[in-house]
């Protein structure tokens, strides 16, 4: 809850997470949630957690958060460690390095100025150059500014195709906006790779 407390002390209000949501091809990708929203903790955390565990598809998360009048950032701050835990920003490089050493592909999404770019099934390498973090994979390249990173969480969420649950590294900016999301690839009805699950579990 420390991340949420720090933000509330600054009295920061921002555009709801949903407007720039990572849930594709649903009405939640529109400006349905145009209003500015304070990051409020759900009133009934026990019920939120029970219902989170009962969902079967990632697209159900924004519906659930709306029902509990909370945001994705606030939920991750308040859920129990089995569903979400705070980790250091170093976890980003830890994940990239360990996954590459094991030749394990990752899926990641970058968020910027209301748009997003997603790469699936990529074995990623990284290096720093001129204060920028460079990510390289076989079919692409991306440059990130680590100064935008403020909070990091490991969350447990359902796969995009509803085939099971996966770990996801969520990186947020200073106002609780989602900046980067990295997950184990969960394609073609395949369950989460057990080696990759161990990697996520080792992140600190």
Mean pLDDT on 15-20: 35
Inform me whether the pLDDT recorded for 122 exceeds 60: yes
* N-terminal to C-terminal alpha carbon distance within the chain: 17
- pLDDT given at position 185: 66
Per-residue pLDDT of 133-165, as tens digits, reads 888 888 888 888 888 899 999 999 988 766 788
Neighbours of 5 (CB within 10 A): 9
| DSSP letter string, 89-102 | TTHHHHHHHHHHHT
**Interval 70-102: pLDDT, tens:** 999 999 999 999 999 999 999 999 999 999 999
pLDDT of residue 13: 35
pTM of the model: 0.80
Whether pLDDT at 50 is above 50: yes
Instruction: Give the whole-angstrom CA distance, residue 188 versus residue 168.
Output: 18
The architecture (CATH level 2) of 2-202 comes to 3-Layer(aba) Sandwich (3.40)
Distance CA 37, CA 21 (A): 14
């Amino acid at each position: 809850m420390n991340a949420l407390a720090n933000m509330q002390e600054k009295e920061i209000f921002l555009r709801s997470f949903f407007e720039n949501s990572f849930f594709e091809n649903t009405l939640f990708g529109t400006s349905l949630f145009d209003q500015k929203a304070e990051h409020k903790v759900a009133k009934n955390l026990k019920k939120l957690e029970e219902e989170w565990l009962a969902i079967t598809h990632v697209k159900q998360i924004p519906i659930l958060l709306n029902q509990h009048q909370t945001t994705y950032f606030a939920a991750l701050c308040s859920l129990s460690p089995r569903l979400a835990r705070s980790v250091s920003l170093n976890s980003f490089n830890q994940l990239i390095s360990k996954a590459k050493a094991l030749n394990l592909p990752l899926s990641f999404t970058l968020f910027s100025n209301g748009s997003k770019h997603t790469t699936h099934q990529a074995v990623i390498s990284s290096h720093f150059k001129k204060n920028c973090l460079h990510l390289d994979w076989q079919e692409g390249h991306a440059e990130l500014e680590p100064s935008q990173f403020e909070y990091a969480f490991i969350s447990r969420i359902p796969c995009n195709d509803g085939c099971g649950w996966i770990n996801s590294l969520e990186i947020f900016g200073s106002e609780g906006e989602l900046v980067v999301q990295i997950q184990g690839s969960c394609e073609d009805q395949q369950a989460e790779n057990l080696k990759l699950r161990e990697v996520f579990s080792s992140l600190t």
